[in-house]
Amino acid sequence: NAGVTQTPKFQVLKTGQSMTLQCAQDMNHNSMYWYRQDPGMGLRLIYYSASEGTTDKGEVPNGYNVSRLNKREFSLRLESAAPSQTSVYFCASSDPDRAGNTIYFGEGSWLTVV
Partner 1 sequence: DAKTTQPPSMDCAEGRAANLPCNHSTISGNEYVYWYRQIHSQGPQYIIHGLKNNETNEMASLIITEDRKSSTLILPHATLRDTAVYYCIVRAASSWGKLQFGAGTQVVVTP
Beta strands 4-7 and 87-94 are unpaired
CB of 78 to partner 1, least distance (A): 19
The answer for residues whose C-beta is within 8 angstroms of residue 78's C-beta and 6 or more apart is 13, 18, 19, 20, 21, 63, 64, 85, 111
Q: Does 36 bind partner 1 (CB under 8 A)?
A: no
Interacting residue with partner 1 among 78, 106, 111, 113 (CB under 8 A) = 106
Q: Does position 107 bind partner 1 by CB under 8 A?
A: yes
Nearer to partner 1 (CB atom), residue 5 or residue 17: 5
CA distance 89 to 76: 9
Position among 23, 24, 103, 111 found at the interface with partner 1 (CB under 8 A) = 103
Least distance from partner 1 to the Cβ atom of residue 85, Å: 19
Does position 58 interact with partner 1 (CB under 8 A)? The reply is yes
39 lies in the binding site for partner 1 (CB under 8 A):
no
Cβ within 8 Å of residue 32, ≥6 positions away: 23, 25, 48, 49, 68, 74, 91, 92, 93
Exposure of 15 in the CB half-sphere (CA atoms within 13 A): 4
Binding-site ranges for partner 1 (CB under 8 A)? 4, 31, 33, 35, 42-43, 45, 48, 50, 56, 58, 90, 92, 94, 96, 99-108
